Amino acid sequence: MTTYTNSSSPRKPLIAGNWKMNMDHVQGADLLQSLAEGLSEANHDPQRVEVAVFPPLTTLSTVQALIQDDGLDLVCGGQDLSPYDSGAYTGDTSAQFLAKLGCRYVLVGHSERRTIHNETDDVLNAKVRAAYRHSIVPVLCVGEGLEIRQAGTHVEHTLTQLRAGVEGLTEEQAPRLVVAYEPVWAIGTGEVAGPQDAQEMCAAIRADLTELFDADVAARARLLYGGSVKANNAAAILNEPDVDGVLVGGASLDSAEFARIACAEKPQTAAPAL
Ligand code: 13P
């Protein structure tokens, strides 16, 4: 199994905050401003660590305008997108609209979308492709539920989701991919997978990307862990060689806590894989 040490990694760590269905546009503006202050007080270096926020759709344009107007060292992304570019799809959001808003990323296949909205692997693959059509980097979320973890088939289950999600991607597209391993049993529960669990799965994902594409793709794609990440456990998780960042839910709604997570990054520098 291939692993990459911190010092030789070509990957820029990504600390991502998924606000889920929290923060209207007024609250979101406040949160973003206090996060920017927190990052600056903690001497966050955007050349070394990228920090992204994923606000709800109605908050996104306010957040993006603040980032742009105030020259903040943050990027934003959408929480979901349509597999289609335009048309009669009431309630859906096109990747081209997200791109126009300045989104760099979009979450695809968060477990809450897979379970609550019954999103299938086929739909999620179409969403991944839609993101690439408009130069948005998909953050493909994968991960097993508790029963699968207890049955010991979590790696197989997660790799099946990965393969379905990335099907048809070209070797030009694939290196930009971000995959977030989020074990469902650790989301919002306070149960955090151990750093070794995060490493086991991220190493398996990276090895699979080598098989699906090639070693260069595997070395450049960024792999995140998500599930009850807090300031007091982030450093240990980020210290694992195949973990390139974290996707944070609840703790991203507290600007001081999230700034501490962003500054708990692993020691390395690199250009973003964009
Ligand atoms: P929590 O950090 O609240 O467990 O949420 C994780 C998550 O779902 C991020 O997408």
The CA-based dihedral angle spanning residues 35, 36, 40, 43, taken in that order and rounded to the nearest 10 degrees:
60
* Model pLDDT for residues 178-200, shown as the tens digit of each residue: 999 999 999 888 887 899 999 99
* Model pLDDT for residues 19-74, shown as the tens digit of each residue: 999 999 999 999 999 999 999 998 899 999 999 999 999 999 999 999 999 999 99
Q: Are 80 and 107 in contact (CB under 8 A)?
A: yes
Q: Are 198 and 154 in contact (CB under 8 A)?
A: no
Q: Which residues line ligand 1 (CB under 6 A)?
A: 18, 110, 182, 187-188, 226-229, 247-251
214 Cα to the center of ligand 1, angstroms:
30
**Is 182 annotated in the active site?**
yes
> Percentage of residues in the chain with pLDDT exceeding 90?
89
Ligand 1 atom, smallest distance to 190 CA:
4
Rounded to 5°, angle at Cα 241 from 240 and 245: 70
Ligand 1 atom, smallest distance to 252 CA:
2
Report, as an integer, the average pLDDT of 7-22: 88
Q: Give the global pTM.
A: 0.93
Mutate to test the pocket of ligand 1, among 142, 187, 261 (most ligand atoms within 8 A of CB): 187
With a cut of 80, say whether residue 266 has pLDDT above it: no
**Is 265 annotated in the active site?**
no
**Cα separation of 242 and 220, whole Å?**
11
pLDDT grade for 159, boundaries at 50, 70 and 90 = very high
Helix, strand or coil, per DSSP, at residue 240:
coil
